[in-house]
Structure formats: structure tokens, C-alpha cells
Structure 1
Amino acid sequence: MMNIAMVSEHASPLAALDGVDAGGQNVHVAQLAGALAARGHTVTVYTRRDDAEAPDVVALAPGVRVVHVPAGPPRALPKDDLAPFMAEFGRWLARSWIADGAPDLVHAHFWMSGLAARHAADALQIPLVQTFHALGAVKRRHQGLADTSPARRLAAETALLGGADAVLATCGDEKRELVALGADPERVAIVPCGVDLAAFTPPAPRGQEASDRTVEPVRIVALGRLVERKGVDTVIAALAALPASAPDSAVPNTSALNGAVLHIAGGPDAAELDEDPEAVRLTALARDLGVEDRVVLHGRVDRAGAAALLATADVVACTPWYEPFGMVPLEAMACGRPVVGSAVGGLLDSVDDGVTGLLVPPHDVDSTTAALARLLTDPDLAARMGRAGRDRVERLFGWDRVADRTETVYRRVLRRHRARQQKPRSDARAWFSTHLSELQHAARDAAAHADVVDRWGAQLATLLGAGGRVLVAGNGGSAAEAQHFTAELVGRFEDERTPLSALCLSAETSSLTAIGNDYGGAEVFARQVQAHGRPGDVVVLLSTSGRSANVLVAAERARTGGMHVWALTGPAPNPLAEAADEALTVDAGSTSVVQEMHLMLLHAVCAAVDARHAATPVPGPAAVPVAGRVMDGRERTEAGLLLGVEAG
């Protein structure tokens, strides 16, 4: 059995549903921890202390405890203000685990939890699993200037992708987003959110009052955090647009649809709704559309209240702009209710369109109106979808099922981690022998690339001699090789010649950080290519795996801009080699061998360039004006020595 640490810095499993910053993540952490403990594991959830009076440790369920970590002031703070305290959070975790024993693995929930967890996990060599629950790049795309996330979020998430032993995506759409940001697809597993099948159940069959059901107003329910991106305004507009009667009088339940009532739950307590900006906005919209008397805002409801409200619905509406996963559709289906939902994010996985509900485009009032009308005027269809929904969540989304899939990922991570620890360490002599053997094999294979290298050298010599330029980029060790290559061209390799125009995009630290913060890690090279590259220029991209997202996006942008793309990668086939105009691939299993061969190949390209440029006259040292006159070469050398600068 495993000793599991979960880090959930702002979303305590003890928090009430639908608090200001409480919602699906709080429930997810609480339910997953409980389900894992029920399978025999021990789970400790670490959350930031936001109340000075809260106990240090709280028992949440058998086998699950919650620890309040002192990081920042012990009071409630908006989650967007918590990033500066994550280093303190991480140091506390490391000290605690050193003193009391380290867990087998750490599971971080949300990006800021990842910052804290990684600090401690790296210090103690503990494997790290990351669930983001929401991605900054997606939030920035949809909210633009309204996004209140810290500026460092996008860059931090990209870094966490590279540092985690596994990343859990809650749906297929999120996995696609993660891979686009640079995640290794083999380390991303899809594990959805779950639903409490005992708490959310279909209502008991109606008895004698069933015959009176047709005279009651139909009920639409919208449940969730009261924020603009949840798209409740679309449901209010659809309510106002519902036709006065069923479009087909042959359809059962021909009662007037304009009597439908929308019940909205979420946000602050009911007594505080008048002070909540979103509640005030929605109320004003309902008044403007003439349906104020048919829109009921309930405010915050607890889990039992949410289950009871969903069970009374004829239709549950979930129409967000975007949704990392969305637990309300699962809860609605568990209650046997059909769902009208936006075709975004996790709803694409949870709602079986046409079977358990109807999916519509986000922001689309007409489509939402039509979907609501279809279900509200055909109770037999709604009932069939409700039964199918309950069957679907029982098969796929119970917490025991989610815990089983999570446990599978944990065990895979632990096996890899233990294999790395148990790998026999060779002495220096053995390492050199093995490494040189693989390097010699790779070097012999590289000889087959001689014609390509010579052609690249000739093309670069012609291009750069005519005023063109070469742009070079790579990550990690490949970034160092990219910088080395451009230095050889701007300076010299072996022969004296004129300097050649070469830019290393990996070395532009200000551009890298600014672009990463504003546009996400996938854009850090592509945007520079777009800015500096011109049609006919050459873009050289290095990647040992050939799968780095930011390099692949740069290749696409370069080709769109009429530039030539050359790639240096590890073993083929790989996406970068296929995306490039030409590629030099190194068939070696060791990353260090691939990198060393890349440097050798780049040196060979430089030699080929030199062979065509070496005869070009090199101008002498430029005269430098000083104090109203011009220094000669001797004085310039002496001045450089005085300034601590090497002349030449």
C-alpha cells in the first residue's frame, strides 16, 4: 500500500462547495483521497492555513487527514494572490517530510500546488504527479485582459510539465492542450473527475401526483460557481427565447414553455447575493429580458442541497465558455437528469451527445434555446437520456473507478522511479567505454550525412553572403548547442572570414520570458521566428526527441513565412524530422550522445561554410574615437586590457 501526499494549496477538501474560491477541485481532492484510502492507501492532503484558529491536522475520513501548512498570512486570500507563498509552502513540506518520513509519491493539484510540491519532491527525490484542473493558456485565450492570473503562471505550468513524472489530464481536450504546451504524450494519462453515486441519485418515482405534473412549471437548473465564464447568461437569454408552446402539438407536455423557471445555485450565501457582481449582472439581464419573475437565485448550496436541486430538474443546463472538466454534468446524469451543455473541454467526454444530453456551441443562445425546447417538450426523450446518463456515470465515473485509474498511474510512476534508483552505477572507466562505443557507432552513421552537411554549408554560405540570416533554437542542452553554432558563425570557426548573421533564439532571455508569460511556452520560438525571419532565411531547430512543442510550432511558423527549416534530432521517425525540409537524425539511445553528435554535425556545417568564405577579405580593427581623436590598434588593445575586455 502507498503513502500518498496530495498538495492542494487553495482548494481545501474541508471547504464548503461553491465558496468564493471553492468548487470542483475541493470536491475532487476530497473524493479521490477518500476513494484511495478505501483501497488501503494512506493519504495526507496538504492545504494552506487560511484560519489562525484551524487545527494543525484534521481527520477527513478513515485513512485521510488534512494538514494545514503555514505559508503566508493565516487568513483567507484570493487564490491569485497565493503564488508568492509557494516557496515557503514547499520548504515547510520538505522539513516536515525530513522529520516525519517522506511519502511514496506526491500528487499536486493546480499549478501553484505544483510549485510547492516540486520544491519538496526534488529536494527529497520523491516522484511527482501533477493535475492542473485548469490551464493558464486556456484561461488567457478565453478571458484576455480579464484574466487575473499571476504573470508567471504560463511559464510555471510549462516548467512543471517537464518536471513531473506523470501528468493527469481530466479529459481528451486537456491532453491535447498539454501536449501543445510541450508535455511528453507518453507521460500524460487521462483520468477524469468522478461523481459520488450514493449522494447524487435519481429521484424516487412519482406516485399519485404524476398526473398533475403537466400543470407545474418546467424546471431548468444551472449549478456552479457564480462567475461569468460559466455562461449562465446564455441560459437566461435562452429562457426568454423559449417558444410559447411546444412546436409540435402531438408531442406530450404541450404546456406553455414560457412558464419555465430557471433555478441558479452557486456563489455566496443567499443573503449576500445583492452584493455579488455576477449575481447583480444576471438579475439585471433577467429583468431586461422580461423573465425576472422566472429566474430564482439560490446562492450557495451544500452537497445535499445540490443533489436535491438537481433531482428536481427537468433539464440541467451547463453552458460555460470553456471547462477543464466540469463535475455538474456528471452530478446531473447521476441524478438521472438530461444535460444541455457547451461542446467544450470535459463536457465533450462526459456528455454523450444525443444519448445523455445535447451539446451546443458556447455563447449560442439559439442552439441552447432549441435544445432546451426539445427536451422540455418531450419528457419521454428526457427520461431516456436521464436513464442513459445514470448508466454512463455508473460505468465510467464512479470515484472507485477514478481511484483505480489514478492508482494505476501511481504504480507506473513508482516502478520507473525505483528502476532509476536501482540502476547500477558504473565507475568512470566503464562509463567512458560504453559512451565512446555508442559515440563511435553514431559517428560512423553520421558519415552518411556528409552530402547533406556539405549542401547545408554551401546554401548557408550563399544565403549569408547575400545578406540573409540563419535563426537557431533548441531547449535545454540543445539550447547550448544552438548558441554555440551561432557564435561560430558570427565569430569564426577555424578560418578568418567576415562575420555572418546568425541569431540564437534560445539566448534571448527577455523575449523568452515575456513571450512565455504572455502567449505560453509553445510560442517562445515561433514568435521570434515571425519577428526576425524573412522569406528565404534558414531556421535550424534542434531537439533530441523531435517532439518539443515549442520547436514544432516554430517549424510551422517558419514554413508559413517562406523560410527553410532544417532539423537536428534523435532517432527518426519523429514529428520534427517530418515537419522540416531536411533533417539530420542521430540514431542513438543516449541523449548525451545525440547532443554530442549534434555539435559535431554543426561543426561540420561550419567547416563547410568556412570552405566557401575563408578567402573573403577580413577588415582590420575598427578605429574607435576617444576624447576627440581616434585610437590606433595598440591603444585599443591597451584600453581593452584596462577595462578587463579581451581585445580582438
Structure 2
Amino acid sequence: MKVRVVHISTSPLFLNFLRGLLFDLRERGFEPSVVCSPGELLDRFVRETGVAGFGVEMPRRITPLRDVVALYRLVILLRRLRPHIVHAHTPKGGLLGTTAAWMCRVPVRIYHIRGLPHLTASGVKRLLLHWSEKVACRLAHRVLCVGESMRRIAVEDRLCPPDRIKVLANGSGQGVDAERRFHPGRFTEVERERLQAQLQIPPDATVIGFVGRMVRDKGMQELAHAWQHLREDYSHLHLLLVGDYEEQDPVPAWVQQTFAGDPRVHITGWVSDAAPYYAIMHVLVLPSYREGFPNTPLEAAAMELPVVATRIPGTVDAVEDEVTGLLIPPRDAQALEQAIRRYLDSPALRQQHGKAGRERVLRLFRQEVIWEAWYNEYVALLQQRGILSVEEHAR
């Protein structure tokens, strides 16, 4: 039996998280497809992977009229595709995806909690976000969480009963390809020097790195404050920002001006492969206010980099304090600065935590383990719903 599974998300950027999983499912005889907002990123993903892709405009922000249109289009699409499984990701994708799947009577509906934006929202927006999470959880047969800390919050906030929500394997959004893509030996010294030259980073520089969306919730204000002090005390220090600004959660103008006006700050914009940039960093920082289960600390750890991150749900699953990195309070620029100084002043500590981080990734977060857990969960749910027999699973 060819099992049809549709993954739904608002942003095409999310598709890279699914790439390996979709290949694995296809090899196991599934027929995967993806739905997200249209654009060049979706078109490129379809060309590169051969996975069927469908564009439905789904703004990440709250837009009631456009959301109703998106829901209508999703219903029409799902009635045509007739999937056995709908697996919805991200808050907006989760709400629209599970609702459309419920309306179309899709046999297996899954909502994947990858973050809880209501935790840092306030007022009416917080209520709406909380409500949307609760509805998505209510309409799903199974709710998956990327990490144990996120699952605890979802249960405590009564978003989902504890018997319906689970973490697969050891958590994380997708695991890490630590054997090939994120391997510290992948890049030669010549390749590293060439990339540094392209970015105008001197070969003897010490590089602090950040990888991700450059928005307020990622703690860019605290990073800018810390950088202003650190750059004065460490003349060979450079800051590498791998990502781009976004309109939805903009940083203050002074933060952009601080970074743009500094020749020792290097902004790459969005990149499809961050691995070469990790290879020229000495420390990764992630001063976020909220996360689900961030993959960048795992990628950095696989590259033997220590990580400075905030002690919040999600990052506490990705970073082991004083073992693979340093955890600090959120919204605390001074604590961020002091943690970075510890690594700058102690190359031995950087190496110790970096090696421990890679060992932890290899032990707990291999992609193959995550993919196997997803597949087994799909099969179990299909069997529970009477769609797949035990004999078919064995084949």
C-alpha cells in the first residue's frame, strides 16, 4: 500500500528540515508531498528533491480574512490529494492544516509543536495564539513535541492531554547529519581561509557566530549590547551573522545600525548550507527569548563548537550547561557578554565543550534515529486507525 502523507507548514524555509525525512519515507514506500506558501524556495525544493510541492499562501502573522482563504484552498487541495496522513507544523500551519484535515476526514492527523509563540506574547495576541495551539492539538490524533521541556509546558498549559502528546526518540526537530554535512573535518584549511577572505575576515581572527533569523525574539538587542563591549577589549574579534532581518519581528533601528556600521561585523544573508560558516567560527551564540528545539546548537556542537545560549524551554534540551555550552538568563546582555568572555579567555574550555558537544550529538541526535521514530509513529497510527495492517508493515 502506498501511504500518502502531506506535510503542511507556513514557510518554505521549513522544507529544509524535512528533506532527509522525505527521502527516507519515499525509500520506505510512502508517497510524501509538501504544502507551504508559494515562491522560489518551494519551486527549488521541488526541483532538487522530486517531492510534490503545492503552494498555498499562509502568512505567519494573524490575518483572519487571508487565513479563511488559505483554509478553503487547503480543503480543496486535500480533497484532491486524499492523503492518509496530514502532518502539520508551526502554529499557523498547525491550525490551518489540522482544521482542513479534520474537515476532509483525513484518517491520521498530526500536529507537531516546534515552538510556542504565545509564551512571549501578551494581551489579545497571547490569547489568540494560545487558542490556536489548543484547537490544533484538539483536532490532531497525535501531537508531537520537539523536546521534553516543550512537552511539559504544553501539558501544564492544558494545550493537550498528556496521553496524546509525546517526544520521539531524544527529541529535536530533525536530528543532525554529523557524519557528513556537519563534520569538523569536512573543510580543509584552504577552504576555510578562502571563505574568510570572501567575508573579509582576517585569517587570525576569533569569530563569534550567530545562525538564524535576525529578529527581536532571537535576542539581537542583547547581542548588539554585548558586542559593543567585547569588540573594544578583543581587537582580533569578529562577529559573523548568518541570516537575515525579517519584517514580522523587526529589531530596533539602532541594532541594525550597530551591525551595519561595524567593519568587524559580517552579515551573510540567508544561506542554504550553514556548515562552511560554522567551520570558521570559534563560538556560537543563541540569546533567544523563546525556542522549540533549536537545531543550530546541535549543528554547532557537531562541528565541535561550544554554544552560549539562553536558559529557556528548548535550548535546555539542546545545550548541556557547563558540558557542551553555557546557559544564561534570557534578556541579560551582561550575562551574555560574560559567558562569551569565558570562552574567549580559555581556548581549552572551548575545545573541551566543543568535543563534548559532538560526542553528545553522535550519541543522541543522529538523523537516522529520528527518521526511524517518525516512520514507526506513522505506522502505529495507521494501524490504530485501521488503514495499515501488521502484515503490510512487515513487508
The answer on whether the counterparts of 1:59 and 1:65 sit within 8 Å (CA) in structure 2 is no
Q: What TM-score does the superposition give when structure 1 sets the normalisation length?
A: 0.51
The answer on whether the counterparts of 2:3 and 2:29 sit within 8 Å (CA) in structure 1 is no
Note the C-alpha offset of 1:122.
Answer: 4.5
Q: What TM-score does the superposition give when structure 2 sets the normalisation length?
A: 0.81
Note the C-alpha offset of 1:205.
Answer: 7.1
For 1:162, the aligned partner's letter is R
Distance change in 2, residues 1:31/1:417 (3 Å): same
For 2:363, the aligned partner's letter is R
Which position in structure 1 is the counterpart of 2:257?
A: 284
Q: Distance in 2 between matches of 1:265 and 1:56?
A: 21
Which position in structure 2 is the counterpart of 1:161?
A: 137
Distance change in 2, residues 1:226/1:55 (3 Å): closer
Q: Distance in 1 between matches of 2:240 and 2:252?
A: 13
The answer on whether the counterparts of 1:172 and 1:190 sit within 8 Å (CA) in structure 2 is yes
Note the C-alpha offset of 1:409.
Answer: 2.0
Instruction: Select the residue among 296, 308, 320 that pairs with 2:265.
Output: 296
Note the C-alpha offset of 1:178.
Answer: 1.5
The answer on whether the counterparts of 1:173 and 1:345 sit within 8 Å (CA) in structure 2 is yes
Which position in structure 1 is the counterpart of 2:204?
A: 216
What secondary structure does 1:336 align onto?
A: coil
Q: Distance in 2 between matches of 1:8 and 1:398?
A: 24
For 1:202, the aligned partner's letter is P
1:131 aligns with 2:119: no
Q: Distance in 2 between matches of 1:50 and 1:137?
A: 28
1:200 aligns with 2:182: yes
For 1:223, the aligned partner's letter is V
Distance change in 2, residues 1:215/1:42 (3 Å): closer
Which position in structure 2 is the counterpart of 1:66?
A: 53
The answer on whether the counterparts of 1:222 and 1:318 sit within 8 Å (CA) in structure 2 is yes
For 1:3, the aligned partner's letter is V
* Deviation beyond 4 Å, 4+ runs, structure 1: 54-57, 203-207
The answer on whether the counterparts of 1:323 and 1:347 sit within 8 Å (CA) in structure 2 is yes
Distance change in 2, residues 1:120/1:217 (3 Å): closer
The answer on whether the counterparts of 2:382 and 2:388 sit within 8 Å (CA) in structure 1 is no
Structure 1 residues 176-185 or 218-227, which shifts more? 176-185
For 1:8, the aligned partner's letter is I
For 2:328, the aligned partner's letter is V
Distance change in 2, residues 1:294/1:362 (3 Å): farther
Q: Distance in 2 between matches of 1:277 and 1:295?
A: 22
1:484-495 counterparts in 2 under 5 A? none
Cα RMSD of the aligned pairs, angstroms, is 3.6
Q: Distance in 1 between matches of 2:17 and 2:163?
A: 24
Note the C-alpha offset of 1:138.
Answer: 1.6
For 2:244, the aligned partner's letter is G
Note the C-alpha offset of 1:258.
Answer: 4.7
Which position in structure 2 is the counterpart of 1:47?
A: 36
- Once the two structures are superposed, residues 136-164 of structure 1 have per-residue CA deviations (whole angstroms, 9 ceiling, x without a partner) of 422425xx68x6x8x74432321221221
What secondary structure does 2:104 align onto?
A: helix
Larger relative CO (CA 8 A, sep 6+): 1 or 2?
A: 2
1:184 aligns with 2:161: yes
The answer on whether the counterparts of 1:340 and 1:368 sit within 8 Å (CA) in structure 2 is yes
The answer on whether the counterparts of 1:10 and 1:79 sit within 8 Å (CA) in structure 2 is no
1:324-473 counterparts in 2 under 5 A? 324-418=292-386
Instruction: Select the residue among 82, 99, 105 that pairs with 1:118.
Output: 99
Q: Distance in 2 between matches of 1:118 and 1:402?
A: 26
The answer on whether the counterparts of 2:213 and 2:245 sit within 8 Å (CA) in structure 1 is no
1:37 aligns with 2:19: no
The answer on whether the counterparts of 1:57 and 1:68 sit within 8 Å (CA) in structure 2 is no
The answer on whether the counterparts of 1:199 and 1:307 sit within 8 Å (CA) in structure 2 is yes
Note the C-alpha offset of 1:263.
Answer: 1.4
The answer on whether the counterparts of 1:57 and 1:65 sit within 8 Å (CA) in structure 2 is no
Note the C-alpha offset of 1:7.
Answer: 3.2
Instruction: Select the residue among 284, 288, 296 that pairs with 1:316.
Output: 284
Q: Distance in 2 between matches of 1:56 and 1:312?
A: 28
Note the C-alpha offset of 1:40.
Answer: 4.2
Q: Which has the larger radius of gyration?
A: 1
Q: Distance in 2 between matches of 1:369 and 1:105?
A: 46
For 1:45, the aligned partner's letter is V
- Once the two structures are superposed, residues 420-474 of structure 1 have per-residue CA deviations (whole angstroms, 9 ceiling, x without a partner) of 99xxxxxxxxxxxxxxxxxxxxxxxxxxxxxxxxxxxxxxxxxxxxxxxxxxxxx
Note the C-alpha offset of 1:50.
Answer: 5.0
Note the C-alpha offset of 1:298.
Answer: 1.4
Runs of at least 5 residues in structure 1 that lack an aligned partner in the other structure: 13-21, 245-255, 422-648
Q: Distance in 2 between matches of 1:316 and 1:55?
A: 31
The answer on whether the counterparts of 1:260 and 1:294 sit within 8 Å (CA) in structure 2 is no
| Identity across the alignment (%) | 24
What secondary structure does 2:372 align onto?
A: helix
Instruction: Select the residue among 3, 6, 15 that pairs with 1:26.
Output: 15
